[in-house]
Amino acid sequence: MASSDQTKKSFKLRSQRWFDDPEDPGMTALYVERFLNFGMTRGELQSGKPIIGIAQTGSDIAPCNRHHLALAERVKAGIRDAGGIPLEFPIHPIQETGKRPTAALDRNLAYLSLVEILHGYPIDGVVLTAGCDKTTPAVLMGAATVNIPAIVLSGGPMLDGHWKGRLTGSGTIVWEARRMLAEGKINYDGFMELVASSSTSVGHCNTMGTALSMNSLAEALGMSLPGCAAIPGPYRERGQIAHATGKRIVEMVHENLRPSDIMTREAFENSIVAASALGASTNCPPHIIAIARHMGVELKIEDWDRIGHDIPLLVDCQPAGRFLGEAFHRAGGVPAVMKELLNAGKLHGGVMTVTGRSLASNVETLEEPDREVIRPYSLPLKERAGFAILSGNIFDSAVMKISVIDKAFRNRFLSNPPDVFTGKVVVFEGPEDYHDRIEDPSLGIDEHTVLVIRNCGPVGYPGSAEVVNMQPPAALLKAGIDSLPTMGDGRQSGTSASPSILNVSPEAAVGGGLALMKSGDPIRIDLNTRKVDLLIPEDELAARRAAWQPPKLVNKTPWEEIQRSMVGQLGTGGCLEPATLYLDVLNTRGES
Ligand code: FES
Ligand code: MG
């Protein structure tokens, strides 16, 4: 453990350089006086108590995280109780469902804003408020770069949604409702009502979409208190863990327990194993890789297949299973899953966590979980439920979520030899083109078609759009074919159960092989060998490559241009590449 009385006494807080530096009274007075103007006292600021930042991601335009505005009061109480001084500050908001063209543009922007604040202000430790999809990786990436003591407080999922006696989960119900609308089973009002039924209370998506997945993985990494991820937003335990989180961060500052002590290579491997057992979102690989890169830990997209593929699905949550956040929490949440994986010998139990104790010791005394929702390792919902990482003659890497491929899909689309599909591609230039043309009968879409969408990656869209899970045309839906194999250089919502080939890297806009495809090209997908090959002669592909012209990209905002000029591919986390060179900045680059 990093803490000891000796560490506590010898450790000079960085905030004292601002608030109590007798060698520079002029600047000290300047720093102190303005914090007095809302009622703080000089005594507080010069008390030598840790100054704890609360990185606020909630606001009226970020409804998934808005609850953090209230939770921050409990965090502050916890910080005060433990002898710290809280300072709450906003970072750039990210709302998954509200931001155009896509919230994916904003993860790296929020990251940058947090780095600037943590580096440039008198903050000794930070509570990272997390919730909606990209808020969790954004704050962890920022904390990794600056590497000051940090702890994640999740906002928690919304309460379970219900409609006509059945559970309706965030996002997942949207895909189903769209099909019902297309098939004429419901009208517009019925569609709106059905979708709204899943939005029940404060909190983030209640399915195992990207939000609950990433908050669960933050906990699996050791960066939040045990049990934090799954407590529903409105539950009393949510406010209580906010208080405990505030208390704990003050102790972490005294212990100098930093992200680099916790987010080690072993911890990232644990998060990959946990992702499989949770049935986590396909957005997790790029986010976790991005956090690792900012932490200076090498993690490759192939690690997800190598470490995670053979791990079974243990958690029965939508979209891979049946239940929602409330049941997951009541069944035992992330600690119960970690204990199951630990007992099966699949985790590094000795890794440090924000508690100041190891993962193994955190879960040691846990009781048996509710086995209907969290299965025993020996009796899982699905065997080998991790991601498959694919490659081939048209791309270096792509992600496929195996846990959502059901028997019906295998029977319809995967044939002899087992798990091989051959068909023809129909290519769309982006979501607008898909919507314009999907019902065009001249495309000849049938059950042997792979729907391909391109120009949707980090550079092309820009930001990478969640559009790859394309619905077949209405005629096929009516004939009972409710999904087709799809592929694209964009992403897909974590709430979708589509077995798509996603995050194709490199993307078409930077000259990736997807750019060379033409509708009608034959393709072969072999899940056993993880190969996807366009069955086009090499010389023909080379000729197409020679004739390829980069698309003309139109930037609508300054940030779009800046991000496009620096962003990497999804296979390596979609990071701002120059930013990945800034590691542990307070130690390696100093303070301004
Ligand atoms: Fe914000 Fe799902 S849209 S958590
Ligand atoms: Mg999403």
Q: Report ipTM for this prediction.
A: 0.95
Q: Look at residue 414 in the predicted model and tell me its pLDDT.
A: 82
Query: How far from the centroid of its chain's Cα atoms is residue 434's Cα?
Result: 26
pLDDT(11) > 80? no
State in Å: Cα 312 to ligand 2 middle.
Answer: 24
pLDDT at 9 over 70: no
Separation of alpha carbons 376 and 361, rounded Å: 20
Residue 422 belongs to a domain = yes
Asked if 171 and 192 sit in the same domain, the reply is yes
Q: In angstroms, rounded to a whole number, what is the distance separating the alpha carbons of residues 198 and 152? A: 26
pLDDT band at 408 (very low <50, low <70, confident <90, very high): confident
Other C-beta atoms closer than 10 Å to the C-beta of 300 total 15
Give yes or no for residue 521 CB within 6 A of ligand 1.
Answer: no
Quick check: bond before 506 cis, omega within 30? yes
More confident residue, 128 or 3: 128
Quick: pLDDT tens for 334-343.
999 999 999 9
Residue 455 Cα to chain centre, angstroms: 22
113: left (phi over 0), alpha (psi -120 to 50) or beta: alpha
Q: Ligand 2 being an ion, which residues bring their Cβ within 5 A of it?
A: 96, 133, 210, 493
Q: Label residue 494 by pLDDT band (50, 70, 90).
A: confident
Strands 387-392 and 166-168: unpaired
Note whether 416 and 529 are same-domain residues.
yes
Q: Which atom of ligand 1 is nearest to the CA of 495?
A: 2
Which of 532, 421, 430, 539 shows the shortest CA–CA distance to 485?
A: 421
Is residue 172 situated within a structural domain? Answer: yes
CA distances in angstroms from 473 to 188, 425, 449, listed in the order given = 19, 15, 11
Domain identity same for 540 and 432: yes
Considering only CA atoms, give the Rg of the chain.
24
How many domains does the chain divide into? 3
DSSP 8-state class, residue 478: H
* CA nearest neighbour of 592 among 53, 120, 32, 142: 120
| pLDDT (mean) for 551-572 | 97
pLDDT at 10: 56
563 occurs within a structural domain: yes
| Secondary structure of residue 537 in the 3-state scheme | coil
Q: What is the pLDDT of residue 415?
A: 78
With 0-12 CB in 10 A as exposed, 13-18 as middle and 19+ as buried, what is 411? exposed
Identify whether 493 is part of a domain.
Answer: yes
Residue 96 CA to ligand 1 centre (angstroms): 5
Mean pLDDT of 83-110: 97
Tokens 């300072």 sit at which residue? 87
Same domain, 414 and 496: yes
pLDDT band at 282 (very low <50, low <70, confident <90, very high): very high
Q: Are 494 and 570 in the same domain?
A: no
Q: What's the gap in Å between 152 CA and the centre of ligand 1?
A: 17
Q: How many CB atoms lie within 10 A of CB 187?
A: 11
Same domain flag for 471 and 509: yes
The rounded Å distance from CA 97 to ligand 1 centre is: 7
Same domain (yes/no): 540, 574:
no
DSSP H helices, 449-530, are 474-478
pLDDT value for 409: 83
Nearest ligand, CA 171: 1
Token pair of 175, please? 């895909």
Read off the tokens for 46. 């010069």
Indicate whether 341 belongs to any domain. Answer: no
The 3-state DSSP composition of the chain as helix, strand, coil percent (nearest 5) reads 40, 15, 45
Note whether 136 and 157 are within 8 A (CB): no
Residue 458 falls within a domain, yes or no?
Answer: yes
As given in the structure block, the two tokens for residue 522 are 């034959």
Tell me which residue range forms the domain holding 575: 558-589
Token representation of residue 546:
């020679």
β-partners of residue 143 are: none
Same domain, 467 and 566: no
Question: b/e per residue, 437-472, with b = 16+ CB within 10 A?
Answer: ebeeeebebbeebbbbbbbbbbbbbbbbbbbbbbbb
Q: What is the Å distance from ligand 1's center to 157 Cα?
A: 9
Quick one: tokens of 173?
Answer: 């119900």
Is there a single domain that holds both residue 524 and residue 412? yes
Residue 538 has pLDDT above 90, yes or no: yes
Ligand 1 atom 1: residue of nearest CA:
132
The answer to whether residues 267 and 299 touch, using CB atoms and an 8 Å cutoff, is no
Q: Is the CB of 576 under 6 A from ligand 1?
A: no
Rounded to an integer, what distance in angstroms lies between the CA atom of residue 110 and that of residue 59? 14
Whether 519 contacts 415, CB under 8 Å = no
Q: Does 524 lie in the same domain as 395? A: yes
Of residues 300, 51, 332, the one with CA closest to residue 323: 332
* Inside any domain, residue 420: yes
Q: What is the DSSP letter of 453?
A: E
The answer, yes or no, to whether any atom of ligand 1 lies below 6 A from the CB of 208, is no
Q: Which two tokens stand for residue 244?
A: 């405990």
Query: 199, 220, 252 — which closes off a domain?
Result: 199
pLDDT in tens, 129-143: 999 999 999 999 999
534 in the same domain as 585: no
How far does residue 95's CA lie from ligand 1's centre (Å)? Answer: 7
Closest atom, ligand 1, to C-alpha of 65: 1
For the cut 60, the answer to whether the pLDDT of residue 363 exceeds it is yes
Strand-pair category, 502-505 with 161-163: unpaired
* Separation CA 290–CA 419 (nearest Å): 31
| End residue of a domain, out of 199, 224, 247 | 199
- Report yes or no: 538 and 427 within 8 Å, Cβ to Cβ: no
Compute the average pLDDT of residues 86-105.
96
The response to whether residue 132 sits with its C-beta less than 6 Å from ligand 1 reads yes
Give distance in angstroms: CA of 207 to centre of ligand 1.
Answer: 10
pLDDT for residue 39:
97
Closest CA to 221 of 128, 330, 158: 128
**Atom number of ligand 1 nearest to Cα 209:** 2
Going by pLDDT thresholds of 50, 70 and 90, the confidence category of residue 410 is: confident
What separation in angstroms does the CA of 160 have from each of 199, 313, 322, 324, 512? 8, 21, 12, 6, 41
Alpha carbon nearest to ligand 1 atom 2, residue:
205
Q: Nearest 5 degrees, angle CA 426-CA 432-CA 435? A: 65
Q: What is the mean pLDDT of residues 217-234?
A: 98
- Strand arrangement, sheet containing 150-154: 85-90, 51-56, 125-130, 150-154
Q: How far is the CA of 270 from the centre of ligand 1 (A)?
A: 24
> Counting atoms of ligand 1 from 1, which one is nearest the CA of 212?
4
Last residue of a domain, one of 171, 199, 227: 199
Q: Among the bound ligands, name the one nearest to the CA of residue 202.
A: 1
Best mutation site among 57, 132, 212 for ligand 1 pocket (most ligand atoms within 8 Å of CB): 132
The bound ligand whose nearest atom lies closest to the alpha carbon of 208 is 1
Mean pLDDT of 110-128: 98
Q: Could you tell me if the CB of 62 is within 6 A of ligand 1?
A: no
Is the Cβ atom of 96 under 6 angstroms away from ligand 1? yes
CB distance 303 to ligand 1 below 6 Å: no
Q: Which two tokens stand for residue 490?
A: 């964009």
- What is the pLDDT confidence band of residue 6, given thresholds at 50, 70 and 90? very low
DSSP letter string, 135-180: HHHHHHHHHHHH---EEEEE--BPPPEEETTEEE-TTHHHHHHHHH
Bond preceding residue 259 cis, omega within 30 of 0: no
- Do 473 and 504 lie in one domain? The reply is yes
Mean pLDDT of the chain: 95
What number does the ligand 1 atom closest to the CA of 170 have? 2
Ligand 1 near 133 CB (within 6 A): yes
**Does any domain span residue 5?**
no
Q: Is 169 in the pocket of ligand 1 (CB under 6 A)?
A: no
| C-alpha dist (Å) from residue 389 to 71, 82, 401, 502, 529 | 39, 45, 9, 10, 10
